[in-house]
Amino acid sequence: MIDLSTKYLGLKLKNPVVASASPLTQDLDNFRRLEDAGASAIVMHSLFEEQINIESEELDRYLSTAEHVSAEAMDMFPEAGDYHLGPDEYLDQIVRAKAAVNVPIIGSLNGISPGGWTRYAKLIQDAGASALELNIYFIPTNPNIDAEQIENEYSYLVKEIKRGLSIPVAVKLSPFFTSMSAFAARLDKAGADGLVLFNRFYQPDYDLDELEVIPSLQLSRSNELRLRLHWTAILFGKIKADMAITGGVHTAEDVIKAMMAGARVAMTTSALLQNGIDYLRFVLTEVHDWLDKHEYESIQQMQGSMSHKAVRHPSAFERANYVKVLSSYAVR
């Protein structure tokens, strides 16, 4: 019998497909549907730093900078009533979700500064979350802030939150760091139990009729997976933290590639928003059938089998392969 189980953040999961943070988890019925469809764990939609600041009447301090912009809070700083769930409701949703399903519930905090994060991280733990995902969303528009300062803030934030928690903590990263390998190792040393690769920065568009900058949200596609595979494969075996791939996971092949690169889990949202929650059943069936056809006994058997340290030609992940790739394309 093929074993689809995996371990992520110290949690034993029945399979490697996790429902990532999305609006789906604002509805309690969707937790049950996700579990029934086969999701091995569910990441809550994010509780934003802006929401915490609104509740604590500290918003004015943050309105003075354009650098605190959240991925899912598309209108910069909406009115408090615009949020579907405030901080108290968010905690209550975790309590109710834990009672409704048997799979792990992972809380999510989205922001950049320690502030109320430390307190709410503890409250999320106390509400019953099995783990916490730090969705650190920071766009450094100030030219006086250098890379070292940004990395220091990330590391400090991880250390501060880890200090007050007993549950595991994963850090969701963007791909835009000057030395991803060194920074991943630094977060590993700071205590991160997992790294989620990668966050997607939602970039605004221009309305040429109204001459306004408008929010623009596009769901991911499978071709976005390659960047995630690249860095997961490079980092595998070099850090102790578990790795999760998110962004571009749409098919069974995407899940299998993520495992072979070295991820412990593959997280998906866009595929479920496009195809419905029950699409997850199809993906898991296809994963099982692929393993059976290729005579794999388990998911864990393949994890990291196509990583930088495992493949015959590791130069495929490095600059040495750059010219070869460019020269391989011929105009027809």
Residue 315's pLDDT band (cuts 50, 70, 90): confident
Q: What is the mean pLDDT of residues 116-144?
A: 88
| Residue 45: predicted pLDDT | 92
Q: What is the mean pLDDT of residues 77-97?
A: 73
Query: How distant, in Å, are the alpha carbons of 16, 61, 237, 303 from that of 199?
Result: 19, 26, 22, 22
Residue 136's pLDDT band (cuts 50, 70, 90): confident
Walk me through the domains of the chain, giving residue ranges and CATH numbers.
6-327 (3.20.20.70)
Place of tokens 């598309």: 74
What is the share, in percent, of the chain residues with pLDDT greater than 90? 62
Q: What is the mean pLDDT of residues 23-48?
A: 94
Q: How far apart are CA 196 and CA 172, in angstroms?
A: 4
Q: What is the mean pLDDT of residues 58-84?
A: 45
When comparing pLDDT for 262 and 204, which is higher? 262
Q: What is the mean pLDDT of residues 51-76?
A: 49
Report the mean per-residue pLDDT for the chain.
Answer: 86
Residue 297 CB neighbour total at 10 angstroms:
12
| Residue 331: predicted pLDDT | 60
Q: What is the mean pLDDT of residues 251-263?
A: 98
What's CA 144's distance to the chain center, in Å? 28
| Residue 313: predicted pLDDT | 77
**Total-model pTM:** 0.86
Q: What is the mean pLDDT of residues 308-329?
A: 72
| Residue 325: predicted pLDDT | 66
91-119: burial string, b at 16+ Cβ within 10 Å, e else: bebbeebbeebebbbbbbbbbbbbbbbbe
pLDDT in tens, 215-247: 777 788 888 999 999 999 999 999 999 999 999
Q: What is the mean pLDDT of residues 29-42?
A: 98
Residue closest to 160 by CA, chosen among 182, 197, 130, 192: 192
